[in-house]
Amino acid sequence: MENKLVKNAVGRLVPTIINGQEQVPYMGVNKYKPSGKIHARNIPSNVDYPNDGNKKVSSLKEALINCGLRNGMIISTHHHFRNGDLIANQIFDIAKELGIKNLIWFPSASFPCHDHLIQYLEDGTIHHIEGSMNGPLGKYTSEGKMKGTAVLRSHGGRYQAIQDGEIVIDIAVIGAACSDPFGNANGLEGDSASGLLGFALADSQYADKVIVVTDNMVEFPCIPWQIQGNYVDFTVEIEKVGIPERIVSGTTEITKSPDRLYLAELTAKFCELTGIIHDGFSFQAGAGGTSLAVSEYFAQIMREKGIIARFARGGSNKYLVKILEEGLIDYILDGQTFDLDGVRSMAKNPKHVATSPFTSYNFHSKGNFAGIVDVVILGATEVDVNFNANVVTHSDGYLLHGIGGWQNCLYSKTVILPIPLFRDRMPVILDEVTTICGPGELIDVIVTERGIAINPLRTDLIEKTKNSGLPIKTIQELKEEAEQICGKPEKPKLSNEIVAAIKWVDGTIIDVVRKIK
Amino acid sequence: MENKLVKNAVGRLVPTIINGQEQVPYMGVNKYKPSGKIHARNIPSNVDYPNDGNKKVSSLKEALINCGLRNGMIISTHHHFRNGDLIANQIFDIAKELGIKNLIWFPSASFPCHDHLIQYLEDGTIHHIEGSMNGPLGKYTSEGKMKGTAVLRSHGGRYQAIQDGEIVIDIAVIGAACSDPFGNANGLEGDSASGLLGFALADSQYADKVIVVTDNMVEFPCIPWQIQGNYVDFTVEIEKVGIPERIVSGTTEITKSPDRLYLAELTAKFCELTGIIHDGFSFQAGAGGTSLAVSEYFAQIMREKGIIARFARGGSNKYLVKILEEGLIDYILDGQTFDLDGVRSMAKNPKHVATSPFTSYNFHSKGNFAGIVDVVILGATEVDVNFNANVVTHSDGYLLHGIGGWQNCLYSKTVILPIPLFRDRMPVILDEVTTICGPGELIDVIVTERGIAINPLRTDLIEKTKNSGLPIKTIQELKEEAEQICGKPEKPKLSNEIVAAIKWVDGTIIDVVRKIK
């Protein structure tokens, strides 16, 4: 295999080999179809597990040793504990203590709390990271310091990669707020409650060995079993799996910025006037301040017009829970709970339903939920004049964010990005984005404080907004307005060295991230 | 491959090839360990499914044609509709109409309502059946009329066989009381409510093509999604999937027979005096009249002694639901609901939990629930002096029953069979059973109206019942008492021709059923 750069369907030069594995360059929306079979794990037998169901061992170290931890293994964790995670760091502390080298860490995402692991990237305990990197580890990667190449995937793409055997997890370590000795686990009860554990679902189903770690071991059966003990090899009870105040923040609040509120209001207005907000509709908004505000404006419109939504997709939070309880939505289909109101609601309300990247986002399934959603409100660090958007790098080229469910959500019926026209005097709409994470043909509407640009492909929306009074402009016009204010932006200074690859939802390479000069 | 008969670990002569597939003879409890990988289905892609999630087609026929129905395919169905199923017969009516031949029907169980299919076994539409056969199809098989060899598996064994790729389902047809157009489905709501759909879980996960058929199509999302639409290819709405009064019978009642009540009382007494009934214990009793009575006696003892069970395994029914609501048990872990009280309870009570053959019984998993249960109360058609038991054939040799979860439950901590000493003047305890379905070493106690026999392996129970006042006898003594009353029983008249194979929980062949002479 000779590694070479080829131009993919969005015009980016991407390598054909990453970390020794052959890659398929992005071929366009719905153009690549997989052949082959899903990953088949070894057939286990009850003979090798205690008949009474008690799989408890005394420590995480013992569990890792029992799982045969050794050089070069792929170790996975989930990010439901967000910046309060206490598990991932411990795993690699143990690996270091045992003298293990060249591990691949495969988290569903990493957070600033994981900067502890930089020492292990330095000393060779960890070879590289495949997973979304928020903050310090992304910066470290951008600086070209990681030995291998980072691979970033969406939530659905991570499920797809595990399912398809693109990445075969040797040991999955699943922290849980609540577990029984058999390994049934959930994120609903206990000091480290995180709501659900959907990001660990694929890991539990497909990993060779699975460890559940909890600080709240209950008697069998742990109900509900969001993670099924039948997939679990060992269980461990420790004092603390996470830092509660960093797992669920009670401080997720609607933006108070007048600019952001205006973006939210304009977005809601657009959805109202185009008929997107209609009886039985569905929506997804993220957990950022602007997105929360959009949900609130949606709720106002729904109340005024007597409209009931069939479902809202979460990330849930107190605002979404409130409108569920008010009866404005029939269901919350939730992928992660962002605050304690979300956790409590999911624990008690059967209409607040836990989902997983399998149900919601996996592109290599017989359909998923994304396409069923009428409208999603998403963010972006940059958008180009062809509506291609970036969510992982900043305009200075630094890799600082994960993809999350962003790529997957682009399959929803209408995708709206409310974004400021510039940030820190850097235009957000550009001729070319630093990194393409999503192809423009899937992005329908850009809402800025100076006007709304509709993707020319969406002639229906263009038609509907004629004479609507909405400030419709072309994206070119918006870009020029930004440049008039901020000047033509400089390109980030990047070397040719590839430090990270961005996968599309089908496992192909849509773009790469290059080392900062 | 040359087919030959070999003697397995329970001394039965079994073939090495069945229906052209190589087989492993039963090797003893926990002796066979699988190698290899689980079945890997083809990787699907969202590209091939409607982006809006609507997979509805106009008829079951259209769905079957879309799935590529053709000669020799394996078609699966579940038996949650029991004797009220209207789906399986329709599938083969359609196959007949289309001129398809040599299908293999792979139901989780068949019932008398499926005698409609005998015509298709006759005319070659169906080649043979793999699955538990209750009644007419079993009789038909016993008479040597089926072209292929029947293969009977336990609920867990069926999951195991699908998971391990011993049987690869071409098309799974899943009838559901409630479904959405995407294929999310449950058995909880609608005229054909059957409670849960756990017997179809493996089919949905591993079949090449999956069709959900419902008479109650609701708007997305169908909650809870006991079957996940992400596994489903097509959905169909028809007028009626089942006959409600035959799905859930409101008539499951505790036995009124004084003999049976005595068996139940004696069983409960045994469990009380041996300390099996203790705070936090768990139990499973079936849905037969005697088993229901055992549960009631258990409840009486628990009330008197202030004992709370951690969980009861269902088949649930109004009696079990009552004691859940009374607070005598923390949870029902339910595999199938036998009456409408069970359905209602499962729909509304989070402590009434749906399980599946995967969680409960799959032997090729990292443990299952069976071994966690303190005591199970089961039936048998025959038991031999080594405690080996039969549940599928009668003493006349006819195959008339399925295995159900019976084999899987044998892994529970204590297995008790309350059985009459004789039925229709035929002794039930014999020198040798017609068909060995479970090895004696896993069967602990036989309770009869003339005394209790404890397996000599259970020295602990023998010790605990010394001076207990319980009528403890040897199994030899019980056998002799039966023979004194009924005379020495005659062996059934059987030919050498093998008409059915009985699989053990690990996929090996524990015994065969031979043609009636």
A246's tokens? 């960093």
Q: What CA–CA distance (Å, rounded) separates A153 from A392? A: 11
For residue A354, the Cα-to-chain-centroid distance in whole angstroms is 16
pTM passes above 0.90: yes
DSSP state of A170: S
Q: What is the pLDDT of residue B291?
A: 86
Residue A417 banded pLDDT, cuts 50, 70, 90: very high
Q: Find residues 19-58 of chain A whose CB sits inside 8 Å of chain B.
A: 30, 33-53, 55
% of chain B exceeding 90 in pLDDT: 93
Please report, as a single letter, which amino acid is at residue A131: G
Whether A428 contacts A419, CB under 8 Å: yes
Say if residue A357 is exposed, middle or buried (CB neighbours under 10 Å; 0-12, 13-18, 19+). Answer: buried
Domain A48-130+168-247, CATH among 3.40.50.10470, 3.40.1080.10, 3.30.70.2970, 3.30.160.270: 3.40.1080.10
**Cβ–Cβ below 8 Å for B221 and A353:** yes
The topology under which CATH files domain B52-128+168-247 is Glutaconate Coenzyme A-transferase (3.40.1080)
Nearest to B53 among A46, A225, A367 (CB): A367
Give the span between the Cα atoms of B360 and A230, in whole angstroms.
9
Query: Are the CB atoms for A465 and A473 separated by under 8 Å?
Result: no
- pLDDT at site B314: 85
Question: Buried (b) or exposed (e) across A70-103, using 16+ Cβ within 10 A?
Answer: eeebbbbbbbbbbbbbbbbbbbbbbbbeeebbeb
Which pLDDT tens digit goes with each residue over A138-178? 999 999 999 999 999 999 999 999 999 999 999 999 999 99
User: Smallest CA–CA separation between A76 and chain B, in Å?
Assistant: 19
Higher pLDDT, B249 or A504: A504
Looking at CA atoms only, how far is residue B36 from chain A in angstroms?
6
Assembly ipTM: 0.97
Distances (CA, A) of B47 to A32, A78, A388, B56: 9, 28, 21, 17
Residue B499's nearest CA partner among B439, B435, B437 is: B435
Asked if B39's CB is within 8 angstroms of A40's CB, the reply is yes
pLDDT of residue B232: 98
Is the pLDDT reported for residue B251 higher than 60? Answer: no
Of A233, A359, A372, the CB nearest to B52: A372
Please, which residues 334-353 of chain B have a Cβ atom closer than 8 Å to chain A? 350-351, 353
* Nearest-neighbour CA in chain B from A372: distance (Å): 5
Nearest chain B alpha carbon to A181 = B372
Find the mean pLDDT for residues A367-373: 97
C-alpha dihedral over A235, A240, A242, A244, to 10 degrees? 130
Residue type, B32: Y
**What residues does B98 pair with on adjacent strands?**
none
- B138 min Cα distance to partner chain A (Å): 31
pLDDT tops 60 at residue A70:
yes
Q: Which residue of B has its CA nearest to A367?
A: B46
Banded model confidence at residue B323, pLDDT cuts 50, 70, 90: very high
Average pLDDT of the residues in A300-306: 98
Helix pair A318-326, A340-348: axis angle to 10 deg: 40
Please give the pLDDT value at position A250. Answer: 52
Shortest CA distance from A231: residue in chain B: B366
Rounded CA gap, A472 and A478, in Å? 10
Query: pLDDT digit string (tens) for A383-398?
Result: 999 999 999 999 999 9
Kindly determine whether residue B183 and residue A366, on different chains, have CB atoms separated by under 8 Å.
yes
Model confidence at B1, pLDDT cuts 50, 70, 90, reads: low
Sort strands A56-57 and B13-15 into parallel, antiparallel or unpaired. Answer: unpaired
Same topology between domain A48-130+168-247 and domain A258-496? yes
B318 vs A: CB within 8 A: no
Give the pLDDT score at A115.
96
Chain-centre distance of CA A173, in angstroms? Answer: 19
Helix (H), strand (E) counts: chain B: 15, 32
pLDDT at A251 over 70: no
Beta-carbon separation of B221 and A33 below 8 A: no
Which residues of chain B make contact with A219, given a CB cutoff of 8 A?
280, 310
Query: With an 8 Å Cβ cutoff, are A364 and B413 in contact?
Result: no
Query: How many angstroms separate the CA of residue B112 from the nearest CA in chain A?
Result: 34
For B137, the token pair is 């199809």
Q: Treating both helix axes as pointing N-terminal to C-terminal, what angle do A289-305 and A318-326 enclose, rounded to 10 degrees?
A: 10
Rounded distance between C-alpha atoms, residue B104 and residue B73, angstroms: 6
B219–A55 CB contact, under 8 Å:
no
pLDDT in tens, A322-338: 999 999 999 999 999 99
Residues in chain A within 8 Å Cβ distance of B34: 43, 45
- B419 has a pLDDT exceeding 60: yes
List B residues 413-432 in contact with A (Cβ-Cβ < 8 A): 413
Minimum-distance CB partner of B51 among A182, A333, A371 = A371
Does the CB of B506 have a partner CB in chain A at under 8 Å? yes
Q: Write down the domain spans for chain A.
A: 48-130+168-247, 258-496
Q: What angle do CA A400, A404, A407 make, to 5 degrees?
A: 110
Considering only alpha carbons, which residue of chain A is nearest residue B357? A230
Q: What is the CATH number of domain B258-496?
A: 3.40.1080.10
| Mean pLDDT score of chain B | 96
Q: What integer pLDDT is reported at residue A264 of this predicted model?
A: 96
Give pLDDT tens digits for B41-79: 999 999 999 999 999 999 999 999 999 999 999 999 999
**A358/B contact by beta carbon, under 8 A:** yes
Nearest CA in chain B to A46: B367
SS3 (DSSP) at B404: coil
Length of chain A: 517
| DSSP 8-state assignment for residue A58 | S
List the single residue in B49, B220, B366 with the smallest CB-CB distance to A233.
B366
Q: Which residues of chain B make contact with A50, given a CB cutoff of 8 A?
A: 367, 371
Q: Which amino acid is at B282?
A: S
pLDDT of residue B418: 97
Read off the tokens for B307: 């004992």
pLDDT at B250: 52
Whether A439 and A29 have beta carbons less than 8 Å apart is answered as yes
The pLDDT of A50-60, averaged and rounded, is 98
Please tell me which of the candidates B221, B228, B230 has its beta carbon nearest to residue A333. B221
Read off the pLDDT of each residue in A24-37 and give the average, rounded to a whole number. 97
Taking only the tens place, the pLDDT of each residue in B160-206 is 999 999 999 999 999 999 999 999 999 999 999 999 999 999 999 99
| Gap from B285 CA to chain A (nearest CA, Å) | 18
Tokens 């304690």 locate to A340
Nearest to B331 among A35, A164, A223 (CB): A223
CB proximity B163 to A under 8 Å: yes
Residues comprising chain B, all counted? 517
Between chains, do B351 and A223 touch, taking CB under 8 Å as contact?
yes
| Chain B residues lying within 8 Å of A309, measured CB to CB | none
Look up residue A293 and give its amino acid.
A
Calculate mean pLDDT across residues A301-314: 97
Whole-angstrom distance, CA of residue A320 vs CA of residue A312: 8
The mean per-residue pLDDT over the stretch B204-231 comes to 98
